[in-house]
Amino acid sequence: MSAAAPQKLPAYEWEPTTDFLAARYGLARESIVRFDVNTSPLAPDLRDVLAGSFDPPLCEYPPSDYASLVGAAAAAYEVMPQELLPTAGADEALDLIARASLKEGSVAVVAAPTYAMYRIVSEQRRARVIAVPRLGPESAFGLDIPALVEAARGAQMVWLCEPNNPTGAFEAPERIGELLAAVESDALRDRREAPVVAVDEAYAEFVGRTALPLRRDYPRLVVVRTLSKAHALAGIRVGFAIARPETLAPILSFRAPASVGTVSAALATASLSRPELAAGNVARIAAQRVRLADELTAIGWRPYPSQANFILVRFTSAGSAATAAEALLRKGLVPRTFGIDHPLADCLRLTVRSAEENDRLIDAARGIPA
């Protein structure tokens, strides 16, 4: 009898590269603008860091404690150093949390639609994922807290994204606190361990609020942060898992040695130590977000309110969204699309970029029906 074929694990599907898109549409590479990846249009000026020497030198491994990076992050996030785990971007933090919290037969809960990595890292651990639909657009895509609490009974993990990607909606920390209190109360009543609740705060700087203080009352909370968005340093791949030491301990046991490189750690330390850089970037993007949404509304497109560095726009149908996406691509403007079975199949997600790049998008949109 032949052995059964191994089950294929889910994997993240990357966006097509700029070179690929330029070749496909016969465009110059420099004419392509990525409105699909939620990155900032301009990197911070950290040339002094790159021009200096590194300690330890690049021929050596980074220090295992990342003391300088952890110290800068602790000050920036107002937490204790022992509550911080530096990771290679937020995605490594998500993977480590899943590896520490889930195993075959576990249950993970997600508030959908949301970032695809939560499902992927959960299913890679052979866990079952329960998707709890968010409330509709008339309720600003908010969390259905009673449904999440019900789904979390017997679950080992709950994944949240605040502000949420791809809707741009934001749930106030007080509401997250209500969810955590209800989940813990259920666990105490049923005499079982409460699930780990991971709150991905990749876009937290754009709202200036965080769930971090809630860890004092809910010890199973893990907050994930990144320097990819507000800090405009997606290319260095630095993020953090933040939790009480006893919650962080099992996550730490899965970390790879020195996953954050010396150059990345130095740039991240400098950016965290100069908060005016991220603050200025957030202010510029927020102003452009308002302008972009207003201009798109004026020409008949239907953007939803957003608290992040992107805007979700709904079209009359999935076909209309696909037609709009193709028209934009032919002009070198790359939107984020969603699969035909996705609840947002009739939407495009558009990163807020520089004034000049946003002008290109607005001009192109004028000829594309919504």
In terms of domains, do 90 and 184 share one?
yes
In terms of domains, do 287 and 331 share one?
yes
- Residue 145: CB atoms within 10 A of its CB come to 18
What span, in angstroms and rounded, lies between the C-alpha atoms of 160 and 143?
A: 9
Average pLDDT over residues 279-297: 98
- Give tens-digit pLDDT for 348-368: 999 999 999 999 999 999 989
Number of domains in the chain: 2
In terms of domains, do 111 and 257 share one?
yes
Q: Does pLDDT of 299 surpass 60?
A: yes
Distance of CA 183 to the CA centre of its chain: 23
Average pLDDT over residues 225-237: 98
In terms of domains, do 202 and 293 share one?
no
In terms of domains, do 253 and 134 share one?
yes
The pLDDT assigned to 1 comes to 47
Among 249, 274, 299, identify where a domain stops. Answer: 274
What span, in angstroms and rounded, lies between the C-alpha atoms of 10 and 124?
A: 6
Structure tokens at 177: 């606190």
- The model's pTM: 0.95
Among 216, 251, 274, identify where a domain stops. Answer: 274
In terms of domains, do 261 and 288 share one?
no
Average pLDDT over residues 151-165: 97
Is residue 21 within 8 Å of residue 329, measured between CB atoms? yes
Pairing between β-strand 196-200 and β-strand 157-161 as defined by DSSP bridges: parallel
In terms of domains, do 270 and 168 share one?
yes
In terms of domains, do 231 and 303 share one?
no
- The CATH number of the domain holding residue 333 is 3.90.1150.10
SS3 assignment, position 243: coil
Please spell the DSSP secondary structure of 73-135, one letter per residue.
HHHHHT--GGGEEEESHHHHHHHHHHHHH--TT-EEEEEES--THHHHHHHHTT-EEEEEEPP
The pLDDT assigned to 5 comes to 54
In terms of domains, do 209 and 354 share one?
no
Q: CA of 143: how far to CAs of 66, 71, 280, 300, 323, in Å?
A: 36, 34, 30, 28, 31
Whether 268 maps to a domain, the answer reads: yes
Whether 224 maps to a domain, the answer reads: yes
Whether 4 maps to a domain, the answer reads: no
Is residue 351 within 8 Å of residue 34, measured between CB atoms? yes
Among 274, 305, 323, identify where a domain stops. Answer: 274
Distance of CA 82 to the CA centre of its chain: 23
Pairing between β-strand 107-112 and β-strand 128-133 as defined by DSSP bridges: parallel
- Residue 54: CB atoms within 10 A of its CB come to 16
Residue 71, judged by CB atoms within 10 A of its CB (0-12, 13-18, 19+), counts as middle
Residue range(s) defining the domain that contains residue 336 = 18-43+276-365
- Give tens-digit pLDDT for 60-117: 999 999 999 999 999 999 999 999 999 999 999 999 999 999 999 999 999 999 999 9
Report percent pLDDT > 70 for the chain.
Answer: 98
Average pLDDT over residues 338-345: 94
